[in-house]
Amino acid sequence: MVRGFALFGVLLVNLYGFGADSVAWNSPIDQLASTLMLVFFESTSLILFSMLFGFGFAVQLERSDAQGFRILSAYLRRLAVLFALGAAHALLYDGDILMLYAELGLGLLVVRRLPTRWLLLVAAGLMLAFPLARLASIGGPPGGMQAIESVAESRTRLEQAQHTHVYATGSLAEVAADNASAIPADPLEDVKSLESGLAVFAMFLLGLSIGRSGVLRDIPAHVAPVARVRAWGLTFGLAAMAAERVLAVTAGYAVYRPQQAGPGVQLAGDLLLAFGSPALALGFAAMLVLAAQTPRWRAALAPLAGVGRLALTVYLGQTLIFTTLFYGYGFGQVFRLGPVAVTAWAVMIFAAQVVACQWWSSRFRFGPMEWLWRSLTYLKWQPLRLRSDPASRAEDV
């Protein structure tokens, strides 16, 4: 369910990257939609997705130890297949995260024997890299001021991009050729970004630590600590996001756009984001985990679980859908849709995926891409279709 929630956020954020994040969209309703996306999904979605990758590694280690299975060779094949899928995906969309996950997954092998306290310390240090790197890069005019693009300039730039950008005018082959420069992913490409490889690996370590704790193996026995995570995560996370928005409005702070804030304000805003976003993500995750313990909410959230089980298929499928919507060889809507429009598209696309996942899961054991990934990892074609008798189906599940 948590992974399904994260996948909706990933879809929404990706859609914003095709022009909806421009200041050109300045109507009150567009600004409201953009603010809600920034506060609730911009960073938390990738953070949750990354935490779950680390958590999954912890589960794999636990199962391999229990079964006496040597994980190294299978895990390396798993990462190699993931990288290959990511490279193919990057030719279509240069915002791919699969290659980065595959590369950073090697790091989990290196630190897998470290005590949990050391994992958490390393994670905290990596989370500091973003604000400190941004602070160190300040130069030029006093306060590091940057020119802020006007609404008119932004609209002009969007209109020009509609006629010149490869996404708007190129064929599939031209898009792939342009995106090839994104292969392979560089974990150190931009440490000044909140979503850099260092920040992603910090979330891997946090997820690995959660998996080690055993809390999610027996949730009813750990309701109290999960509830504390929910309370502290939502309280601190929402307060940090609200404070960051106040700095944006009153002092010109910005992380994704040029800003007018001085070094002190910039550092304060960056620290709020660096630690507030993971706190909010943990709060959301704990909220979903606790809600799923009640029959009523478990039934309501079940569609998210269906999507989460087919995460790789859903993630790649989202790209096929939104590139067809945006790119010139499809419906050509790139740089033409604002925050409200892309939010509506995100809801419709995700709703269609929920229905498709429910249909598929009732007939097959794995999603199509999960089946391919698993088969190549274990060098054996895995059974795909669910068997018809109830006992066999229960065993498959």
pLDDT digits (tens, 9 = 90+) for 215-254: 888 899 999 999 999 999 999 999 999 999 899 889 889 8
For residues 82 and 179, the answer to whether their CB atoms sit within 8 Å is no
Q: Is the dihedral of CA 28, 29, 32, 34 positive or negative?
A: negative
Q: Is the dihedral of CA 21, 320, 336, 12 positive or negative?
A: negative
Residue type, 108: L
The single-letter DSSP state of residue 259 is -
Tokens matching residue 245: 């928005």
Over 50: is that where the pLDDT of 290 sits? yes
Which positions ≥6 away from 312 have C-beta within 8 Å? 85, 367, 369, 370, 373
For residues 221 and 265, the answer to whether their CB atoms sit within 8 Å is no
Number of residues that make up the chain: 397
Which positions ≥6 away from 334 have C-beta within 8 Å? 18, 19, 161, 162, 165, 167, 168, 326, 327, 328
Q: What is the rounded distance in angstroms from the CA atom of residue 230 to the CA atom of residue 240?
A: 15
- CA Rg, the chain, in Å? 22
In a domain, 253, yes or no: yes
Question: Closest Cα to residue 203, out of 62, 313, 311, 105?
Answer: 105
What is the pLDDT at residue 194?
86
Which positions ≥6 away from 245 have C-beta within 8 Å? 35, 39
Q: What is the rounded distance in angstroms from the CA atom of residue 98 to the CA atom of residue 92?
A: 13
What is the pLDDT at residue 217?
84
Question: Closest Cα to residue 197, out of 336, 301, 118, 100?
Answer: 100
Question: Closest Cα to residue 353, out of 394, 312, 292?
Answer: 312
Over 50: is that where the pLDDT of 140 sits? no
Tokens matching residue 111: 């630190």
What is the pLDDT at residue 63?
78
Q: What is the rounded distance in angstroms from the CA atom of residue 127 to the CA atom of residue 321?
A: 33
Chain center to CA of 322: 16
Q: What is the rounded distance in angstroms from the CA atom of residue 30 to the CA atom of residue 27?
A: 5
Structurally, the chain folds into a number of domains equal to: 1
In a domain, 10, yes or no: no
In a domain, 148, yes or no: yes
* Mean pLDDT value of segment 17-35: 94
In a domain, 120, yes or no: yes
The single-letter DSSP state of residue 389 is S
What is the pLDDT at residue 146?
52
Q: Which residues pair with 385 in a beta bridge?
A: 364
User: Residue 172 belongs to what domain range?
Assistant: 43-306
pLDDT digits (tens, 9 = 90+) for 84-100: 999 999 999 999 999 99
pLDDT digits (tens, 9 = 90+) for 335-380: 999 999 999 999 999 999 999 999 999 999 999 999 999 999 999 9
In a domain, 375, yes or no: no
In a domain, 380, yes or no: no
3-state secondary structure at position 151: helix
In a domain, 54, yes or no: yes
Give the other-Cβ count within 10 Å of 347's Cβ. Answer: 13
Q: What is the rounded distance in angstroms from the CA atom of residue 377 to the CA atom of residue 387?
A: 23
pLDDT digits (tens, 9 = 90+) for 106-131: 999 999 889 999 999 999 999 999 99
Share of the chain above pLDDT 70, in %: 94
Q: What is the pTM of this model?
A: 0.91
Tokens matching residue 358: 């429910």
Tokens matching residue 279: 């706190």
Which positions ≥6 away from 112 have C-beta within 8 Å? 57, 61, 208
In a domain, 313, yes or no: no
